Structure formats: C-alpha cells, structure tokens
Amino acid sequence: MKIKKEYEFTHKRQLWRILPANSGKLIIEERDTALKEAYFNCLEINKGKRIFENLQLDEKFWIGIEAVYGDIIFFHKYVKPDMPIHKGIIAFDINSKSILWESQEHNFLFVSDKIYCYKTLFEGKKFFTLNYLTGEIIDELGTDPSEINKTKENLLESDVSEFIFPEYYNETDGKSLFPELPDEINIGNFIMGKIQAARYGDIILFNALEHSAKGSMRNIVKAVDISEGKTILEEVINKESGKFLPDSFFLKGNLLFLLKEKDTLVVYSVKQ
C-alpha cells in the first residue's frame, strides 16, 4: 500500500473544526481568538481545490457550524456570548455562496432528509421537522423527545461507520496490540501510555509522543505497512508539544487527515 500527499491547507490560524461532507466537500472552520473572528472555508475533498475561503457572516465570532448536509452548511448563533447554548438556524448554500434561509425561533438538533429542531417554550420544548432547503415546517412532533432521540442515535451510528478514528492503548509493550508488526519497525522511542493507533487494511497508523533533542516532546505520526514490513510515512505534526497528549488524526474512506502544528491540515490518500 502507498500513502500519497494530496494537499495542505493553512492560513496560520487555529483550525477549529474539520468537517468532511458526503457531497465531496471539506468544510474547515478557523478561529482567530485574539481578534475574535471566525472564518469558514470549503475545499474539494480529494484534491483540495478551493471552492471558497475566508467566509464570514454578519456575526463574526459567536457563530458555529451545526452540520453539513448535501451542499448546505447549517450555522448557529449563541443565546449569549461565552455561553454554549445554540440559537437559531442559518442555511448557507455552498454553490451559490449565499444564505438560503434563516430561522431565529427554531434550534437545530440534526439533519437527515429533513431538519429536526425545536422551539423553546416556557414549559419545555416543542419539536418540529423542517424542509432543509426552504426552512418550511413539515411536521409538528409535539413535546416528547423519545422517538427523535432514537432517530438521532441511528443516524449517528451510520455517520460514524464511515470514519476510522485512532484509539488509545496502555500496553507496556506497544507491539502487543499488533503482534504482526515487524520487529524492525522501531516504536521504542514512543512515550508509552499515550499512544494512539488505527488500522486501515495492511497499514497501522501510530500517533504518539517522542522525547525531542531539546528535552521536551514532539508529536509524530507513523504509518507502517505490515505486509511489506516497512514504514511508509513518518511526519512530525508538532515539533514542541507542551502537553502529555498527542494530537489526533482520522480517516474517511481512503483519505487520511492530519492536523499539523494546530494551524495546518495535511491530507493524504491511501492506495493499494
């Protein structure tokens, strides 16, 4: 198997969220915490072609993404600054680069073929479904959330199945997790107890900390092809890690997403 670097993305701002969409788009949220401004970007997911960059809405900071469905990004605002409670729905069309509709009274829950949402009432919540393209009410679902919760659980299970996320393990000997790992592959420099690992076909991906020459720690990602017994990727994603915890990576399909130095996204393809 081979790993090929496809593209990098950075504006030297903190990468806040990375959202691969099933429509072949990649949405990236960046934040400048000093200026208190949020920026949103959209790329073609396989090769990194820019669709739009540095998008800002009227609210520059107290805004975030609920979900991406098809070619629509659903944003939310907040009830108050510095409070985590979401408020309202803004539907933004990626292709026209414009807002399709906005609701200040409905609050987003999740989206499948329609938006599930609620209104806050004095005595609780009332649930609805909306047309995701127009914001028009489809169903009024009353105040019982039980059926909605079941629908959401099933949807989350389906979404997660498309991704591969690394898992921690705490073995004293890292190779005990993957006994087929060739002896010549050196993981002895890894700081044990905080190693993340994931498997994609014959590739084992490690994400771990090593002691650097300066006496601190660096965060390294290493990909090992166990069928050929060799390392096929080794990249330092944080030269000076100030915490005893590695940054993460994930795969969607055959694409590997690495967050480098907090402000750079590196995307690889994994192929036979």
- What tens digit of pLDDT does each residue of 37-46 get? 999 999 999 9
pLDDT band at 244 (very low <50, low <70, confident <90, very high): very low
Lowest mean pLDDT among 22-26, 149-153, 165-169: 165-169
What's the pLDDT at 83? 78
What's the pLDDT at 207? 85
Residue 153, pLDDT > 60, answer yes
Residue 188, pLDDT > 60, answer no
pLDDT band at 187 (very low <50, low <70, confident <90, very high): low
Q: pLDDT tens digits, residue range 192-238?
A: 556 788 889 889 888 888 777 666 778 888 898 888 888 899 888 88
The segment with the largest mean pLDDT, out of 111-115, 183-187, 243-247, is 111-115
Backbone angles phi, psi at 201, to 5 degrees: 60, -125
What's the pLDDT at 210? 76
Q: pLDDT tens digits, residue range 69-110?
A: 999 999 999 988 877 889 999 999 999 999 999 999 999 999
> What's the rounded Cα separation, in Å, for the pair 165 and 248?
8
What's the pLDDT at 108? 97
Q: Are 100 and 72 in contact (CB under 8 A)?
A: yes
What's the pLDDT at 227? 86
Neighbour-count burial of 162, counting CB atoms closer than 10 A to its CB (0-12 exposed, 13-18 middle, 19+ buried): exposed
| DSSP type of residue 59 | S
What's the pLDDT at 268? 96
Neighbour-count burial of 121, counting CB atoms closer than 10 A to its CB (0-12 exposed, 13-18 middle, 19+ buried): exposed
What's the pLDDT at 238? 83
What's the pLDDT at 80? 84
pLDDT band at 170 (very low <50, low <70, confident <90, very high): low
Q: Are 205 and 197 in contact (CB under 8 A)?
A: yes
Residue 36, pLDDT > 90, answer yes
Q: Mean pLDDT in the chain?
A: 86
Task: For the chain, give every domain's residue range.
Answer: 10-162, 166-247
Lowest mean pLDDT among 61-65, 81-85, 157-161, 179-183: 179-183
Q: pLDDT tens digits, residue range 2-19?
A: 899 999 999 999 999 999
pTM of the model: 0.87
> Which CATH fold topology does 10-162 show?
Lipocalin (2.40.128)
Number of C-alpha atoms within 13 angstroms, CB side, residue 30?
22
